[in-house]
Amino acid sequence: MAAWKTLEASVILDCRPFLTVESHRVELPDGQVIPDWTWIRTPDFVSILAQTDSGQFLCFRQEKYGIDGLSLAVPGGFLESGEEPLSGARRELQEETGFEAREWIPLGSYRVDPNRGAGTAYFFLALGACRTGDCLGGDLERQELILLDSSGLETALSAGGFKALSWTATVSLGLHHLDRIRRSADGRH
């Protein structure tokens, strides 16, 4: 299948480093040209479901500007220019929580909006998380680090406690992967 071709791109809003909006002139595989396709550039980011050896998951209870009220969240953040996703995930976990993890499992990378761009999300499961230092903080919003057991995490997920799609996806993918590990260990597929 032929791909769309970008014939021309111009910046119509520049709010770097967090947002750039472009207008693209694109050619479809059938030759049709669309003169004003809006494309959004935001930094790629990582989102991490981290579990300690005792089976607890690192989460935040926090406020975010775009969310009404409190939400649960998982560690994560924007990748720095040229940073590999796994390196960024390790950095974000340590900076935000003061924890490091023994094992890292990639849960996939996903375009945020397949028609308009908006960056790529990289999801990770971090196992064997343990505190190695202090968190550096730095988020503008108030947040509290909390530990949830599997039951609490699943209940919060089912109740809509994670109010951002990326956090919900990270928790869902992580729990799914852990379930597959458990079933494989039990001899069930």
CATH number at residue 144: 3.90.79.10
Amino acid at 39: W
Do 68 and 161 belong to one domain? yes
The total of structural domains in the chain comes to 2
Residues spanned by the domain of 14? 5-41
Q: Tell me whether residue 40 is exposed, middle or buried, using C-beta atoms within 10 angstroms of its C-beta: 0 to 12, 13 to 18, 19 or more.
A: middle
Question: 74, 60 in Cβ contact below 8 A?
Answer: yes
Nearest-CA neighbor of 71 among 121, 151, 141?
A: 141
Same domain, 78 and 154: yes
Using the predicted structure, report yes or no on whether residue 137 has a pLDDT greater than 70: no
- Give the chain's end-to-end CA distance (angstroms, integer): 35
Same-domain pairing of 32 and 121: no
3-class secondary structure per residue, the chain: CCCCEEEEEEEEEEECCCEEEEEEEEECCCCCEEEEEEEEECCCEEEEEEEECCCCEEEEEEECCCCCCEEEECCEEECCCCCCHHHHHHHHHHHHHCEECCEEEEEEEEEEECCCEEEEEEEEEEEEEEECCCCCCCCCCCEEEEEECHHHHHHHHHCCCECCHHHHHHHHHHHHHHHHHHHHHCCCC
Verify that 61 and 118 share a domain, yes or no: yes
Same-domain pairing of 28 and 55: no
- For residues 83 and 168, membership in a common domain is answered with yes
Residues 106 and 147 in one domain: yes
Q: Do residues 50 and 75 lie in contact, with contact meaning Cβ atoms separated by under 8 Å?
A: yes
On whether the CB atoms of residues 189 and 183 are closer than 8 A, the answer is yes
Q: Could you tell me if 28 and 119 lie in one domain?
A: no
Residue 139 has pLDDT above 70, yes or no: no
Inter-CA distances, 28 with 11, 81, 92, Å:
21, 31, 39
Residue 138: pLDDT over 70: no
pLDDT tens sequence across 108-132: 999 999 999 999 999 999 999 999 9
Quote the pLDDT of residue 1.
66
Token pair listed for 146: 């909390």
Same domain for 76 and 14:
no
Residue 37 sits in the same domain as residue 49: no
Let me know whether 49 and 37 are in one domain. Answer: no
Q: Same structural domain for residues 126 and 160? A: yes
**What pLDDT does residue 7 have?**
95
In the predicted model, what is the mean pLDDT of residues 81-105? 97
What confidence tens digit (pLDDT) does each residue in 19-64 have? 999 999 999 999 999 999 999 999 999 999 999 999 999 999 998 8
